[in-house]
Amino acid sequence: MTMRVLLSTIGSRGEVQPVTGLAVALRERGADVRIVAPPDFRELVEDLGFAMVPIGPTLRRPPGTGDWAAGMTPEKARKLTEDTVREQFAVVGEAARDRDVVVAAGSLQIAARSVAEKLGVPYIFAAYCAISLPSPLHAPPRMPWQRPGDGIEEMWAQEAVQWNALFGPLLNRHRAELGLAPVGDVREHVHTSSPWLAADPVLGPWPEPDDEGVFTTGAWLLADERPLPGEVEAFLRAGGPPVYFGFGSMTAPPELGAAMVEAARRDGARAIVQRGWAGLDTGAAGPDVLAVGEVNQRALFPRVAAVVHHGGAGTTTTAALAGVPQVVVPQRFDQFYWAARVERLGIGVAHPPQAPDAASLAGALAALTAVTGANARRVARDVVTDGADIAAGRISRTVEDRI
């Protein structure tokens, strides 16, 4: 019997690409996989041969228009939350009707467990970063409601209050419509008592090694066989290894691209700047600069001198796997965690807590040493590359145990 899997995620490419890595691993086991994701990633999903069910609005904003949350009022936030929960129940509910298991990856998966419960199929939740899951050994991601001086226990308790206040009434209203009992703790309901951690055990380990409640799979890496574009290959051959700069789907002022170029020049290096969703502008570029769109990072990173990035889980893992030093410029949520992990492992540095400019980026690059490079090469040997296959095997056994 063919196993039918629904994979659901909401967020940027950092949330979606790992799901596609898991989808490929499941397909190799003969599974029929359907993916729920934001409409921005239809091409990514369908080019890999998977059925795509879009959810939510388009996330990508035109360069220069700022963060999607800019101008957000309490009324707009309330309406957005209501719309999000309602759409999740409708879209995920319909997409899961013929599935044998529902896998929700990343935060804000409010409806998926209720849908699985109503259908009587297994539900699995996976986080991409350890600090997304409560533990007395680490604090949650930085959020506006955190108060100076709060301890770890207080921060987690306050986060639970926020989850319940924001989603509790909406979740329980929809559960009542499905004939399901109300939920008292929204966060525990979404995460379950046995969540998965889809992060590399070296880069982002679960801090409680004896805790059998959290199953670490390793990061879900998408095997990318695409060759680098001809212009990238030509640029790489034309000189020494360049510094790569890229903020992925993060917002940033377009002029930051010119600051990146100046930082590389101050460091005596060439630069490859990924334009990303911010549409970074490299300014008066010369033969020592190449601006690129989306490229195969797994092919590119082993050939650069350093990777300067925003600290997403996927980019951090890909750079670590390449064995090159990193400069992490965190902006939000778990990116500060990844910046701290990179520094703790000695495989790179965290950018100072300020808006990046040419001087600060050049200073961070100058802080990379031969020891940093040696540490990066050492850690690269320990990065797990079969996390998606480990997760796919466990999903298969979960479904088989019910047959």
Q: Where are the domains of the chain?
A: 4-221+385-400, 230-380
Sign of torsion over alpha carbons 176, 179, 185, 188: negative
The confidence band for 394, taking pLDDT boundaries of 50, 70 and 90, is very high
Residue 71: the pLDDT is: 57
Per-residue pLDDT, 80: 81
141-170 pLDDT, tens digit per residue, is: 888 778 888 899 999 999 999 999 999 999
Instruction: State the CB neighbour count (10 A cutoff) for residue 67.
Output: 13
Measured CA to CA in angstroms, residue 322 lies from 190, 233, 307, 347, 348 at distances of 34, 17, 10, 11, 13
Identify the CA nearest to 331 among candidates 315, 309, 363.
309
* Residue-level pLDDT at 147: 81
The neighbouring-strand residues paired with 126 are 105, 196
Which superfamily is assigned to 4-221+385-400 in CATH? Glycogen Phosphorylase B; (3.40.50.2000)
Mean pLDDT, range 303-322, rounded to an integer:
95
Q: Which CATH architecture has domain 230-380?
A: 3-Layer(aba) Sandwich (3.40)
Smallest CA-to-CA distance from 296 within 246, 247, 224 is with: 224
Task: Tell me the average pLDDT of the chain.
Answer: 91
46-93 confidence digits (pLDDT tens):
999 999 999 987 766 555 555 545 555 667 778 888 989 999 999 999
Q: Which residues contact residue 376 at a Cβ distance below 8 angstroms, ignoring those fewer than 6 apart? A: 320, 323, 324, 325, 326, 347, 348
| Shared fold status for 4-221+385-400 and 230-380 | yes
Q: What is the mean pLDDT of residues 356-374?
A: 95
Return the exposure string of 15-54: e unless at least 16 CB atoms fall within 10 Å of the residue's CB, then b. bbbbbbbbbbbbbeeebbbbbbbbebbeebbeebebebbb
Q: Whole-model pTM? A: 0.91
Is the pLDDT score of 379 beyond 60? yes
The edge-to-edge listing of strands for the beta sheet with 326-328 is 289-292, 271-274, 243-246, 306-309, 326-328, 348-350
Poorest-pLDDT segment among 12-16, 76-80, 332-336? 76-80
User: How many CB atoms neighbour CB 60 within 10 A?
Assistant: 15
| Contact indicator for 150, 217 with CB cutoff of 8 Å | no
Q: pLDDT value at position 66? A: 52
Q: What percent of the chain is predicted at pLDDT more than 70?
A: 94
Helix 313-322 crosses helix 335-345 at what angle (to 10 degrees)?
20
E strands present in 10-157: 32-37, 51-54, 101-105, 123-127
Neighbours of 142 (CB within 10 A): 15
Distance of CA 277 to the CA centre of its chain: 15
Query: Which pLDDT does position 68 carry in this prediction?
Result: 46
Sequence-separated (6 or more) residues with CB below 8 Å from residue 151: none
Tell me, what's the pLDDT at 85?
A: 94
pLDDT of residue 281: 76
Residue type, 161: V
